[in-house]
Amino acid sequence: MIIPSLSAEWLSLLSLLWSLQMLVLIVWVVLQQRAPVSTLSWILSLLLMPVFGFVVYYYFGPQRLEKQRMRRLRGQASSQAMQDMARLRDVEQEAPQELLQLVTLGAATSGIPVSSADDVLLLSGGDRTYDAIFEAIRAARHHVHLEYYIYEPDKIGTALRDLLVGKAQAGVQVRLLVDALGSKRVGKKFLAPLVAAGADVAFFHESRIGRRWRPVTNFRTHRKIVVCDGRVGFTGGVNITDEEDPRTRDDAYHDVHLRIEGCAVRWLQTVFLEDWFYSTGQNAEVLGQAVEQLLPPLKPGNIPVQIVTSGPDSEHEAIHRMHVAAINIATQRAWLTTPYFVPSESALMALTNAALRGVDVRLMVPRMSDSRLVTAAARSYYDKLIEAGVKIWEYEARMLHSKTLLVDEHCAMLGTANFDNRSFRLNFEVMAVVFGPALAKPLAAQFHEDSTHATEVQLHRRLPFWPRLGVASARLLSPLL
């Protein structure tokens, strides 16, 4: 009689503890004041994890980070903003007035005004991207700054490291910032030659326990930035890995990158330096007189370019807003390429609205991404999009990794952000918005080329029961993906 009595008491105690834990978690989630769908999704997920719910939410739940902006650098970088706006107005004579409002939105949400470039070059494929980056690094005389989400110690990673070692030995200041989770295979042994040569290396959000009061495992720098002498910069989707080099692997990801030359590079520089000092804890004052070399005086170019950033340190979701706003002002076309398509309600509405009012809306996604869950979630949106008039292509040749948006003839976006909640709300991302035909024309040609390796998705595809159930179930997790 005693044992059953004790068992019942323990069950009652465990039930009470579980109830108290769930009450605390639900209050915690509700107080975050996030989107109702996201909040309810987290609550439902936590209810299904009675033991580990607290740990999961503690490590992976939403939170806000504080990352200080460097006023001195931003002030220096903004010195030519008025001249750059004047060049945008020249473009605007042939483009809609809404372009100026788009620029204002980008400046208000990310704190970066429109700038300009002497040249922008679309780089298709990892091989062309790596060749261009290596060439720029070889030509650098003062500094080389690199920030990557994924840096692998493989063939291309080793080649880049050895090049950086040579530059550091030649007296060029080399700073390498990599994400601690995305570049987890990069260890001290691999980096030792670089450090010995005098280069500085840092990790973004080290995941070691005890580094922070609350872990930041879920918040990564997804940015890919290279800056050489403050004059030439790169950004886009290509990481440092053999998986993106067709010279090494036949199944290498298909991706695009952007080379920028001119004033707009100062903003890539500013973004990198803010991430660098945030990650290292160094005082920005150590730059001293080097600011003049990090942000060299350059004449405004003829191509208006705006660098836009977003991350969990801001509630504005700048890149998310820019995508939605650009699609909303489209009058001729809105062509989107993304490896991970899990749209927010506002983004989905923008795409369907544009198609319903006669805009040529196209979506290019991989036939099968490297995440089956995300692929399934993406397909749950297909019928609604196609019914509204959106044309969807699934790229079949290889894994598609490009992240671009082309709107009409005068607005092209290329960056690191996927079209999903993680990129829009959790990751630190960066994007270049180029106004005018300089990027729009080659990006349109690239989209046409990619479509020759893709199959158009048809409406009301017949799927067996279990795949249909999997797709529908994956959609329920969309707010968490």
Tell me the residue range of the domain where 51 lies.
Answer: 2-60
Active site annotation includes 401 = yes
Active site annotation includes 408 = yes
Handedness of CA 432, 200, 71, 428 (dihedral sign): positive
**pLDDT (0 to 100) of residue 113:** 92
Active site annotation includes 222 = yes
The answer to whether residue 309 is domain-embedded is no
Please work out, in degrees rounded to the nearest 5, the angle formed at the alpha carbon of residue 43 by the alpha carbons of 41 and 45.
Answer: 70
Task: For residue 104, give both structure tokens.
Answer: 């204002």
Are 467 and 324 members of one domain? yes
64-78 in b/e burial notation, b at 16+ Cβ within 10 A?
A: eeeeeebeebbebbb
The CATH number for 171's domain is 3.30.870.10
Helix (H, G, I), strand (E, B) or coil at 47: helix
Question: In terms of Cα–Cα distance, which of 411, 412, 429 is closest to 420?
Answer: 429
Instruction: Please give the backbone phi and psi of residue 161, each rounded to the nearest 5 degrees, phi first.
Output: -60, -45
The answer to whether residue 83 is domain-embedded is yes
Residue of 84, 229, 245, 255 marked active site: 229
Task: For residue 75, give both structure tokens.
Answer: 């002030």
SS (H, E, C) 112-139: CCCEEECEEEEEECHHHHHHHHHHHHHH
Are 337 and 417 members of one domain? yes
Residuewise pLDDT in 10s, the chain (481 residues): 444 555 777 777 777 777 777 777 778 677 766 667 667 767 776 776 666 666 666 666 666 666 666 666 666 666 666 666 666 666 555 556 788 899 999 999 999 999 999 999 999 999 999 999 999 999 999 999 999 999 999 999 999 999 999 999 999 999 999 999 999 999 999 999 999 999 999 999 886 544 454 556 678 999 999 999 999 999 999 999 999 999 999 999 999 999 999 999 999 999 999 999 999 888 766 665 577 788 888 888 999 999 999 998 888 999 999 999 999 999 999 999 999 999 999 999 999 999 999 999 999 999 877 767 777 777 888 989 999 999 999 999 889 999 999 999 999 999 999 999 889 988 999 999 999 999 999 999 999 999 999 999 988 766 665 565 555 555 555 555 5
CB 478 within 8 A of CB 381: no
**Terminal Cα-to-Cα distance of the chain (whole angstroms):** 50
Active site annotation includes 200 = no
Residue of 145, 167, 205, 224 marked active site: 224
Question: In terms of Cα–Cα distance, which of 376, 327, 374, 320 is closest to 353?
Answer: 327
User: How far is residue 56's CA from residue 62's CA, in Å, rounded to a whole number?
Assistant: 11
Are 217 and 81 members of one domain? yes
Question: In terms of Cα–Cα distance, which of 297, 333, 308, 292 is closest to 440?
Answer: 333
The answer to whether residue 102 is domain-embedded is no
Are 201 and 342 members of one domain? no
Are 294 and 328 members of one domain? no
Are 219 and 158 members of one domain? yes
Of the three residues 11, 40, 60, the one that is the final residue of a domain is 60
Number of domains forming the structure of the chain: 3
Residue of 143, 145, 167, 222 marked active site: 222
Are 46 and 165 members of one domain? no
For 405-453, where are the alpha helices, taking DSSP H only? 421, 437-451
Helix (H, G, I), strand (E, B) or coil at 307: strand
Residue of 167, 257, 403, 410 marked active site: 403
Residue of 145, 167, 323, 401 marked active site: 401
- What is the distance of C-alpha 16 from the center of its chain? 43
Are 289 and 412 members of one domain? no
Residues in the chain: 481
The answer to whether residue 312 is domain-embedded is no
CB 304 within 8 A of CB 84: yes
Of the three residues 19, 39, 60, the one that is the final residue of a domain is 60
Q: 436: left (phi > 0), else alpha (psi -120 to 50), else beta? A: left
The answer to whether residue 310 is domain-embedded is no
The answer to whether residue 308 is domain-embedded is no
Active site annotation includes 224 = yes
The answer to whether residue 313 is domain-embedded is no
Residue of 255, 275, 408, 450 marked active site: 408
**pLDDT (0 to 100) of residue 327:** 98
Are 133 and 191 members of one domain? yes
Are 188 and 236 members of one domain? yes
User: How far is residue 133's CA from residue 154's CA, in Å, rounded to a whole number?
Assistant: 17
Are 331 and 435 members of one domain? yes
pTM reported for the whole predicted model = 0.85
How many C-beta atoms lie closer than 10 Å to residue 171's C-beta? Answer: 9
**pLDDT (0 to 100) of residue 2:** 47
CB 305 within 8 A of CB 260: yes
Of the three residues 234, 269, 302, the one that is the final residue of a domain is 302
The answer to whether residue 113 is domain-embedded is no
Are 273 and 404 members of one domain? no
